[in-house]
Structure 1
Amino acid sequence: MKNISIRKFILSSSALMLVSTSWLCAKTNFNEVGKQMVMLLSNNHYAHYEFDEKLGKRFFEGYIKSLDRNKNYFLKSDVENLRKKFGSNLHQLLIEGKSVAAATEIHALYRKRANTRIKYAQNLLKDEAAFKFVSDRKVLISREKADWPLTEAEACGLWRNQVEQSLLSEQLRRDSIAELAKEQGKEDPLKGKDAPGKMISYRFERILHGINSSNEEEIVDAFLSAVALSYDPHTDYMSMSEMERFMSGMQNALVGIGAMLQAEDDGATKITGIVVGGPADKQGDLKLNDRIVGVDSLNVGTPEAMSDIMFEKLDRVVDMIRGKEGTEVRLKVEPAAGAPGEIKMIIIKRGKVELKDELAKAEVIEMKQTNGDKRRLGWVSLPAFYADFKNWKTRCSIDIEKLVKRLKDEKVEGIILDLRGNGGGSLEEVRRMTGFFTGRGPVVQVKNHQGRVEVKDSSHRAPIYDGPLVVLIDKTSASASEILAGALQDYN
């Protein structure tokens, strides 16, 4: 979860407003979405940049960087020509509601260059024996600070180096795995797998398919995300599908089949986990390591309705499988335990799936001391500051309150609050939760672009627990976790 930012709090209600038109009509006016977004940022963002040509240049450079961060696709002349055309007027096109055409034109050139580069790389991989790995050439892994290639010949040289480096890395990885298996007296788990060149070609194919299949919403999403990011690293734009996934994550529940998916190199989507008690688990036919190759979202049952998902973006596959509660989805599956080429059709009724691993949980830990006495400590784990913003029935603060009271009843001598890996979430939940340990008082200050400071106080008159407390954090504890840890430290 990204840091607390405009993405989560300032824009959360506005983002819903900007994209909610897709519920009401067949086609969203993304030009209007862009216009409303930059108006919102211009009027409310803390940075409060002047809305001028300088900012327009930031928008352009940010979008180019988001498409080709490692400078593998565009030529220098491509970027210079695009900069002349759009480099100083993107802000004006956004405010006039005319930005989508510019974003689409830039993406079209990016798509053209990507097709040229990746197909060249795949042709090289057809003859992987031609790579001998005997030269003393050096390959720049990250080209973010390098310049764009000047010519097609230079671009081809860069891609040849990249292909050779990928082949060598893959071969070394396989050799290492084979050697470890031999030392352990086990069979090489990669024995019988496709050759390194073929596997790398599959990875390129997935990248290319993702670029070529990008629809208008996805192109605009990349563009407006780059525009938002131009303000600061924690400001972002959410498309409609991203907002739905975000809300599902904050609710710790979703409607689907209850399966965890992973994109495979060869284009299929593998089942890596099945939620106990979920729709797929109850239906029983879908198994671990089964591979999904097609999805009929409405279970129409005709060949035309079955969508081929080979090399499809994982987010898009997830969206195809999810749907309304009580409806059915038909999956075209290659069973893990089946014969080569065997295909099985599995129909699963969608249902509500609770993401229990992301809920707050607690346990009592008993430790025996050297003198024989036992110490009882309470361990509380909170993976995220989740909350259902629609009806507030699901709230981590309610769960934490129950768990802390239960540990207090268990007469624990101290509580350990584990926020490791917690990337943040709802600010309201932090405000409420701090009061469980401090009572009423200030938790955090929020300052807007006008300099106005708002103090967020906890509402609990008295703490529900005032005993020894340890808060665990790590480098991935961010945002709301930092606020809670900092507030508790200040009150210590």
Structure 2
Amino acid sequence: MAAKYMIRTTNRSDLPIATAASRAFACGTASPARPSRRRPRVATLLVALAAWLCVSCAAVAEFTPVGLAELFPSERQSKTTLVINKVLERFHYRSFRLDDAFAQQSLLNYFEDLDPNRSFFLQRDVDRFARGANRLDQDLDQGKLDVAFDIFRVYRMRVDSRIDYALSLLDQNFDFERPETYRFDRKDAPWAATDAELDALWRQRVKYDYLTLKLADEPEGEIRDQLRKRYEGIARRIHQFTADDVYQAFVNAYTRTLEPHTSYMSPSTSENFDISMRLKLEGIGAVLSGENEYTVIQRTIPGGPARQSGQVHTGDRIIGVGQGRSGEMEDVVGWRLQDVVDKIRGPSGSTVRLQILPKASGSGGRTREVELVRNEIQLEDQAAKSYLIDVPGQGSALRIGVVQVPAFYRDFRAESEGTNDFTSTTRDVRRLIGKLQADGIDGLVVDLRGNGGGSLTEATSLTGLFIDEGPVVQVKDALGKVDVEVDPDPGVVYDGPLAVLVDRNSASASEIFAGAIQDYGRGVIIGEPTFGKGTVQTLIDLDRYMPGSAAELGRLRLTMAEFFRVSGGSTQLKGVEPDIRFDLGPDLADHGERSLDNALPWDRIRPAKYSPYRSVDVVPLRQRSAQRIQQDEGFKMLTARGDVLTEINRQQEVSLRESERRREAERRDEVLKTERDRFLLARGVRPVDEDADEVDEEALERQQEVIERIQAEEAARILADVILMQDAADRPRAAMRD
């Protein structure tokens, strides 16, 4: 399923309506609210949203099978459907019309959500229900849901059949020198036409799973037992689906047809969500997503145990979870995402072990076990930090200050309680700039890499530190009304040379800040095109649309506004295109908003009135940077890693020959290790073997810091070029004045 979970406390905002988006958090989600015309009180804005469809910190409950006779739609679900239709029609940012084409696409999305790798359904299953879909729009308009439950019951029977077959294969022996390949990525493959085709597919699937564990040096005697538990677990979890789970899955396929960030929480999921809001959410500090049968690290959170370990990276897959230092490592492949989340969460200070399949190893590569101590992430863990880089110049070195901003944070609770020195990104950055100016900096780099967003208030006020006055961002609601957020504090804190460093994970509030700096010509934007998240969501309590009803309907996460830059273009989909671009990783089409089906398109509205600064000529800056990057050992390493990841991303099938797979894994590992070690040794840093039994954590942290500063150092050199260019341009004018 496509749901996502966040294992940490994060600050998100309450957004009752689009016109209130100016007081919102710009990371695109909000607390439960009824659409209204009032702006939310500041006191209500601190919402610890650990995840969409979040679950409580309790251990996973015992599995209780649900009978097929219980999997039929209820009157409550019928009412909920009618309410959802009305809310989508009235409040969604994108125009919604329930017609035959929309209903049929929803049905196909439902099939894909249930069976994303096309391993259970047959083509005749899809065809049978698709033929009856010509009345689905009318049925849904009347709240009729029979087809959704009919499909799920067939799905459960197909799962039982396939798992029985997979278990029977574990009694056989496999020839791992036979030339054969397995297509592990089947999301674009045709559905199997016959049971014989599915048999052939599952024979390869079981062989692939067996070989993957064999390559990870699992004992031969334990591989069959581990796979038996894995397959039985898949069937057990499907048998755990209640009618509410089935309904939620269908409605999310339905809303995803409209737009990817609109989704539904059933009453039971909403209850768990509320419990999680009242608890301290303690875990590893990572955003997880479900992709096929794997739990994938979407990103790590600054200040969290995962990020600080230096051993957990975006794209890594969690295939096992163990409690404590010696607890059994449970195989979690094929688990529902919320069950994996429950296993990873636990009391602060306790230990959890993750068995990780690194992204850079590809499918079936070597695994790594990482031991993490759970912790609650505080605002101070995400606080902005600074350091200095000296860049050799003409004569004396130029001193460049770097301010890292991992999130746009603001302690709204402390502010509402009257605390004068409440924690704030803008306050912290203002203080850091003062210290850097005291150190005599010649220029400043604001590093927003990995910054997924946060408070829009902070993005606006932080921009105000670098411009005198004027608009920062425009917010357009579903009715077409545009609100303009302006610099709240006229005057400039720092008016010197400025650069902003971004990457593909810089999102939402980060894109607002970078876009404003670029539009004003106030600084040079450097790095990768950003994430492209330019929409705003709110949580709507559906019960409020059925007054007097005893039934609980759940909640709808609704997209209801869009951000636009002061120049008129949206940050949606395209993100912010850097003035000087680093091409380091896999194709951006597979990342961020660009990778989502039915994402809102890029759009433009009328520009706001603003006075841009004098911008610099970026053409010579690009040329000089490109020449340096070609010779830089750090960028050679990053490029080599990007090439490996690109190769992995494009791969849809793998060999089932053990010797060939080992050679492939060793080749990739050698490329990555050679380039990494060459760079570190050139910097005088001894490489750390992350796969060793005992890892020097301090040395690993230092190694990670050196690697993370590669792009920041080039950004500093680019800014030094800007300073020298400006000095050269100003000297003739100064001579004329003399």
Q: Could you state the TM-score of these two structures normalised by the residue count of structure 1?
A: 0.66
| Structure 2 CA distance for aligned equivalents of residues 464 and 193 of structure 1 | 64
- After TM superposition, give the deviation of residue 464 of structure 1 in Å: 3.3
2:201 maps to a residue whose letter is L
Change (3 A) 1:247 1:369: farther
Matched, 1:383 2:409: no
Matched, 1:477 2:522: no
Aligned residue for 2:170? 125
Aligned residue for 1:103? 148
Q: How does 1:85-484 map to 2 (within 5 A)?
A: 85=132, 87-99=133-145, 101-127=146-172, 129-135=173-179, 137-171=180-214, 173-174=215-216, 190=217, 192=219, 195-238=222-265, 255-256=280-281, 288-291=324-327, 313=336, 315-316=338-339, 318=341, 353-355=376-378, 359-365=382-388, 367=390, 377-386=400-409, 398-412=423-437, 413=441, 414-484=443-513
| Structure 1 CA distance for aligned equivalents of residues 169 and 462 of structure 2 | 58
| Structure 1 CA distance for aligned equivalents of residues 273 and 507 of structure 2 | 17
Deviates more, 1:205-214 or 1:71-80: 205-214
Alignment check: 8 A CA contact 2:388 2:399 kept: yes
Measured against aligned partners, the alpha-carbon deviations of 1:128-160 in whole angstroms (never above 9, x if no partner) come to x2444414x443333223322222222112211
Alignment check: 8 A CA contact 2:122 2:191 kept: yes
- After TM superposition, give the deviation of residue 195 of structure 1 in Å: 4.1
- After TM superposition, give the deviation of residue 420 of structure 1 in Å: 1.4
Alignment check: 8 A CA contact 2:403 2:432 kept: no
Greater RCO (CA < 8 Å, at least 6 residues apart): 2
Aligned residue for 1:69? 116
- After TM superposition, give the deviation of residue 410 of structure 1 in Å: 1.0
1:54 maps to a residue whose letter is A
Change (3 A) 1:356 1:411: closer
2:445 maps to a residue whose letter is I
2:178 maps to a residue whose letter is V
- After TM superposition, give the deviation of residue 74 of structure 1 in Å: 0.8
| Structure 1 CA distance for aligned equivalents of residues 515 and 270 of structure 2 | 29
Change (3 A) 1:48 1:310: closer
2:209 maps to a residue whose letter is S
Q: Secondary structure of 2:258's match?
A: coil
Change (3 A) 1:96 1:392: farther
Measured against aligned partners, the alpha-carbon deviations of 1:15-50 in whole angstroms (never above 9, x if no partner) come to 556999xxxxxx994444433333222223333132
Alignment check: 8 A CA contact 1:56 1:91 kept: yes
Alignment check: 8 A CA contact 2:282 2:377 kept: no
- After TM superposition, give the deviation of residue 387 of structure 1 in Å: 5.8
Alignment check: 8 A CA contact 1:258 1:275 kept: no
Cα RMSD of the aligned pairs, angstroms, is 5.1
- After TM superposition, give the deviation of residue 311 of structure 1 in Å: 8.7
Change (3 A) 1:8 1:288: farther
Aligned residue for 2:726? none
Q: Structure 2: which 5+ runs fail to align?
A: 6-11, 19-27, 36-51, 54-73, 289-303, 309-321, 354-373, 522-738
| Structure 1 CA distance for aligned equivalents of residues 112 and 492 of structure 2 | 49
2:430 maps to a residue whose letter is K
Change (3 A) 1:115 1:457: farther
Alignment check: 8 A CA contact 2:461 2:487 kept: yes
Change (3 A) 1:371 1:451: closer
| Structure 2 CA distance for aligned equivalents of residues 224 and 287 of structure 1 | 35
Change (3 A) 1:440 1:30: farther
Alignment check: 8 A CA contact 1:378 1:407 kept: no
Change (3 A) 1:392 1:56: farther
| Structure 2 CA distance for aligned equivalents of residues 290 and 259 of structure 1 | 18
Change (3 A) 1:401 1:292: farther
Aligned residue for 1:79? 126
Q: Secondary structure of 1:73's match?
A: coil
- After TM superposition, give the deviation of residue 367 of structure 1 in Å: 3.8
Deviates more, 1:201-210 or 1:9-18: 9-18
Q: Secondary structure of 1:363's match?
A: strand
Alignment check: 8 A CA contact 1:366 1:374 kept: no
| Structure 2 CA distance for aligned equivalents of residues 203 and 481 of structure 1 | 40
| Structure 2 CA distance for aligned equivalents of residues 460 and 480 of structure 1 | 18
| Structure 1 CA distance for aligned equivalents of residues 481 and 256 of structure 2 | 24
| Structure 1 CA distance for aligned equivalents of residues 481 and 413 of structure 2 | 28
Measured against aligned partners, the alpha-carbon deviations of 1:73-116 in whole angstroms (never above 9, x if no partner) come to 1112212222234x2444444443443x5433322221221121
Change (3 A) 1:30 1:465: farther
Alignment check: 8 A CA contact 1:209 1:312 kept: no
- After TM superposition, give the deviation of residue 230 of structure 1 in Å: 0.6
Alignment check: 8 A CA contact 1:443 1:456 kept: yes
Alignment check: 8 A CA contact 1:260 1:273 kept: yes
Change (3 A) 1:363 1:5: closer
- After TM superposition, give the deviation of residue 124 of structure 1 in Å: 0.7
Q: Structure 1: which 5+ runs fail to align?
A: 21-26, 175-189, 263-271, 277-285, 295-308, 335-350
1:150 maps to a residue whose letter is A
| Structure 1 CA distance for aligned equivalents of residues 281 and 174 of structure 2 | 47
| Structure 2 CA distance for aligned equivalents of residues 102 and 388 of structure 1 | 47
Q: Secondary structure of 1:454's match?
A: strand
Aligned residue for 1:345? none
Instruction: Calculate percent identity across the aligned residue pairs.
Output: 31
| Structure 1 CA distance for aligned equivalents of residues 411 and 127 of structure 2 | 46
| Structure 1 CA distance for aligned equivalents of residues 416 and 220 of structure 2 | 48
2:194 maps to a residue whose letter is T
| Structure 2 CA distance for aligned equivalents of residues 242 and 141 of structure 1 | 31
Aligned residue for 1:49? 96
| Structure 1 CA distance for aligned equivalents of residues 124 and 194 of structure 2 | 9
| Structure 1 CA distance for aligned equivalents of residues 164 and 484 of structure 2 | 56
Change (3 A) 1:48 1:410: same
1:46 maps to a residue whose letter is Y
Of residues 22, 33, 38, the one that matches 2:85 is 38
Deviates more, 1:143-152 or 1:238-247: 238-247
